[in-house]
């Protein structure tokens, strides 16, 4: 298969880090519009809260996160790339309108398709969510809360 014009296959780790870092300014809402072209239309995104399929659903999820946050900052201390896998460590600080700011520490695994665009993204964070899923009568309210506030 031919590489897409927005392929990440030939991007260095530093170039990818710069591209993602542009999404988060020092004050205000994030803007992901410049990285959407690097995603395949059949992207599958999954994190501790949800599984999203398709670029339009992915864009909607990003809009919800932007809407819920007064301000959102991201720091990427490290990034690794090998063949079609990109792995980045991040620290996301979310400032809310009515709640104190929160920093979430996590990582993301990006899988590139044959054309070099992101076909799969898995974000890892919220260890407690995995524990709470196994407590009867607690897991469903916890997931509703997480989706409402962060999803």
- pTM for the complete prediction? 0.79
CATH fold for the domain made of 13-150: Nuclear Transport Factor 2; Chain: A, (3.10.450)
Contact 31, 128 (CB under 8 A): no
On the question of pLDDT at 130 being above 60, the answer is no
pLDDT value at residue 42:
98
Q: Give 92's pLDDT tier (boundaries 50, 70, 90).
A: confident
Tell me: the pLDDT tens digits for 131-150? 566 567 877 888 888 888 88
Please state, in angstroms and rounded to a whole number, the distance separating the CA atoms of residues 52 and 135.
Answer: 25
Can you give the residue ranges of every domain in the chain? 13-150
On the question of pLDDT at 58 being above 90, the answer is yes
What is residue 91's three-state secondary structure?
strand
pLDDT value at residue 128:
65
Question: When comparing pLDDT for 113 and 34, which is higher?
Answer: 113
Tell me: the pLDDT tens digits for 113-125? 999 999 999 999 8
> What would the mean pLDDT of 31-59 be, rounded to a whole number?
94
pLDDT value at residue 25:
60
| Beta pairing class for 118-124 and 39-46 | parallel
Contact 112, 8 (CB under 8 A): yes
């Amino acid at each position: 298969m031919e590489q897409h014009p927005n392929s990440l296959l030939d991007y260095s780790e530093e170039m990818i880090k710069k591209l993602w870092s542009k999404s988060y300014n020092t004050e205000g809402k994030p803007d992901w519009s410049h990285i959407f072209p690097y995603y395949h239309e059949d992207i599958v995104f999954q994190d501790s809260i949800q599984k999203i399929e398709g670029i339009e659903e992915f864009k909607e999820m990003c809009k919800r996160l932007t809407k819920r946050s007064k301000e959102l900052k991201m720091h990427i201390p490290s990034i690794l790339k090998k063949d079609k896998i990109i792995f980045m460590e991040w620290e996301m600080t979310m400032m809310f309108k009515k709640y104190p700011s929160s920093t979430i520490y996590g990582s993301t695994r990006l899988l590139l398709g044959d054309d070099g665009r992101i076909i799969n993204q898995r974000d890892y964070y919220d260890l407690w969510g995995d524990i709470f899923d196994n407590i009867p009568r607690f897991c469903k309210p916890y997931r509703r809360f997480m989706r409402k506030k962060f999803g």
